[in-house]
Amino acid sequence: MVYNYRIKVTLKGFEKLIKRTFVINDNVKINDFCKVVITSMNGYLEHLYTLKYKDKYYICDYMTKNDNNEIKMNSLRMNKLMLKEKDKLELIYDFGDNWIFKITVAKVIVGHNQKNVELIDGIGKGIEEDCGGVWKLINLINDKNNVWDYDYDDFDVNEVNDKLDKKYNTRK
């Protein structure tokens, strides 16, 4: 049986300002799911990341396991998580800036979807790489003339979906 998940993602500390809603196929690799979230949140995938779910940490394959609660994620698919509605996960990206994406499974849908992953909705540009984390992002959002040229309103669902289509929705 194939499932699709309606996933809601928010940036911790900015839950009302920066969020995304996806539909994702359960056959997608966990690693790719993490990349989809980070990319949609304006991340460049230049840093390490880990996904926390039910006391387990799914880590990138190039990270070293430090304890029994860590699992290498690269070859695992979303269906191995056996997600249910209202399940909560956390994706931690860039351990220096410490971006935390709060993820909730809003709905589990039985059957195939035309795409492996699709961004349905969202608001706010997302993170600014290497800016210093949450506290610096607050300043960038509030300062319209910031030296980083960060524009909170610079977010387009179609633009993000174009990126995702090229990488995750191609027919082979």
For every one of its 172 residues, what pLDDT tens digit does the chain have, with 9 covering 90 and above? 889 999 999 999 999 999 999 999 999 999 999 999 999 999 999 999 999 999 999 998 888 888 888 999 988 999 999 999 999 999 999 999 999 999 999 999 998 778 999 999 999 999 999 999 998 999 999 987 888 889 999 999 999 999 999 999 975 5
Q: Strands across the sheet with 70-72, in order?
A: 70-72, 56-59, 49-53, 88-93, 99-110, 3-11, 19-25, 117-123
Q: What residue has token string 């997608």?
A: 28
Paired with 77 in beta bridges are 29
**Who's near 10: CB < 8 A, 6+ residues apart?**
18, 19, 20, 101, 102
Q: Give helix 30-40 / helix 157-168 axis angle, nearest 10°.
A: 150
Instruction: Please tell me the total count of domains within the chain.
Output: 1
Give the pLDDT score at 87.
98
Q: How far apart are the first and last CA of the chain?
A: 21
Q: Rounded to two decimals, what is the model's pTM?
A: 0.94
Give the pLDDT score at 171.
59
Distance CA 96, CA 89 (A): 20
Residue in 25, 30, 36, 9 with CA at minimum distance from that of residue 121: 9
Would you say 140 and 146 are in contact if contact means Cβ atoms under 8 Å apart? yes
**Which residue type is seen at 117?**
V
**Which residue type is seen at 138?**
I
SS3 81: helix
- Structural domain harbouring 151: 3-168
Output the CA torsion 165→166→168→171 (10° steps): 90
Paired with 90 in beta bridges are 52, 102
Residue 34: CATH number of its domain = 3.10.290.30
